[in-house]
Amino acid sequence: MDYLEELTTRQADIILANSKFTSEVFRAHFPSIRSTPHVVYPGINIAAYEPPPLDAKDPDIVQVTSDRPTFLSLNRYEKKKNSALAIHAFAHFRKKVLENQKSKIDLKTLRLVVAGGYDPRLEDNMMTLVSLIDVAKSHALSYDIVTPKNSTVAIPPFNTTKSSPSIIFLLNFTTSQRSALLSSPSTLALLYTPSNEHFGIGPIEAMICGVPVLACNNGGPTESVIDQPAEDKTGWLREPDPIIWSRALEEIISLPPEGRKNLSERAKRRAKDYFGMDAMANGLETALVEAVEMGKVDWTYGFGLLGLWTFLLLSVVVGLISVFIAWTSLI
C-alpha cells in the first residue's frame, strides 16, 4: 500500500505542502518523488479573530476573563500536545520568583489557562486531563476545571479550588471564550507546547490578536514565529524543556510596555502578510498557473510501460482483496 500511494502521488504535476517542515517530511517518506512540494501556508480568516464587542454579562465570558496576568495554552487534550510542558514551566517560573526576594511579581495574581477540546468518550482525552492534574498537584498548584454553561460534558470529581486557582482547565471553550482570552490585555503570551507540528494554527491565532508566542523550536512554528533578529521578533522559540521555558516566561513578563506594543504590532502584521486568506489564495494561484503552463497531460506520464502495468495489477489485486473481505464478512 505504501508503494501504491507513492506511485500514484508521483503522478501529480504539482504537490503542495502546508509548511517547509511538511515538505521535508514528505520527501523523506517518498524518496522516489524528486520534485519538491510547493509550500502554501493555510490561510486564516483574520476578520474572525478581530475582537467583537464582548458581553461582560455573558456567563461564559465571566468564567474566563480576569485582570490577573495570564499565560494561555490552547490545545486539544491529547498527550502528544504536551500541555504538561506549560504546567512544568509555569511551576518552575513561580519557584524562581519565590526564591528571588527582590522580585516585584505577585504570585497570587499569576494564572495559567489550559484550554482545549475534550471528549470524555476518548481515552486519550480523559487520561491526558488526569495526567495534567497530577502534574499540577506535584507542584502544589491549585486548579479548577470549567466548561461553558451549555456544555453537557460532566466534570470529573476532582478536588478543585474555585477561588483564584493557579491553573484553570477549560474544557471545550466557545468562540467567545477564545476571543476573550486572546484579546484580553492581561494575556501575556500563548504557550504552544506541541513538538514537530506540521504547521500549527495556534501561534497564528495568537499573532493575529497581537499576543506573543512561546513555542518549541521545531516544526511549523519555526516558520510562523520569529525569534531573531530582535527588530522582527514576534515570539520565542525554545527547546521543549521546562527550565528553558521558565526563563522565557521571565523574559515575557519583564517586557516593558513599549516593547510589548511593538512586538504585538509586528505579530499582527506578519500574520496578515503571510497567513491570511489573500496570502493563501496567491500561493494557490501561482501553483495553478504553473500547472496550466505545463501543457497537456500524457496519460502514461510518470508510470512508464512497466510501471503502468504494475499499477493496473496492484489495482486488480487490491480490488480482489476488498471483495474477499466484504464476502467473508457476510458469511
Read off φ and ψ for residue 235, nearest 5 degrees: 175, -165
CA dist 274 and 291 (Å) reads 23
Query: Residues of the chain whose pLDDT is less than 70?
Result: 51-56, 101-102, 104, 298-311, 327-331
Between CA 56 and CA 330 the distance in angstroms is 59
Edge-first strand listing for the sheet containing 167-171: 143-146, 167-171, 111-116, 70-74, 187-192, 213-216, 235-238
Residue 19 lies in a domain: no
Within a domain: residue 16?
no
Indicate which CATH number applies to the domain containing 231.
3.40.50.2000
Task: Specify the pairing of strand 16-17 against strand 38-39.
Answer: parallel
201 in any annotated domain: yes
d(C-alpha 254, C-alpha 180), whole Å: 23
How much is the pLDDT for 319? 80
* pLDDT in the model for residue 299: 60
Q: Is residue 246 part of a domain?
A: yes
In a domain, residue 171? The reply is yes
Q: Judge contact between 260 and 267, C-beta under 8 A.
A: no
- Residue bearing cell 470529573: 156
pLDDT of residue 322: 79
- Per-residue pLDDT reduced to its tens digit, 111-158: 999 999 999 999 999 999 999 999 999 999 999 999 999 898 888 789
Tell me the per-residue pLDDT of 39-77, one tens digit each, with 9 for 90 and over.
Answer: 999 998 888 877 666 666 788 888 898 999 999 999 999
Domain contains 112: yes
Phi, psi of 85 (to 5 degrees): -60, -40
Looking up cell 500549527 gives 200
- First-residue to last-residue Cα distance in the chain: 26
187 domain-assigned: yes
What is the pLDDT at residue 308?
65
- β partners of residue 78: none
Q: Which domain holds residue 243?
A: 46-275
Domain count within the chain: 1
State how far the Cα of 194 lies from the Cα of 178, in Å rounded to an integer. Answer: 19
Would 261 be classed as within a structural domain?
A: yes
Quick one: pLDDT at residue 324? 74
Q: What is the dihedral of CA 159, 163, 165, 170, to 10 degrees?
A: 80
Cell of 107: 504570585
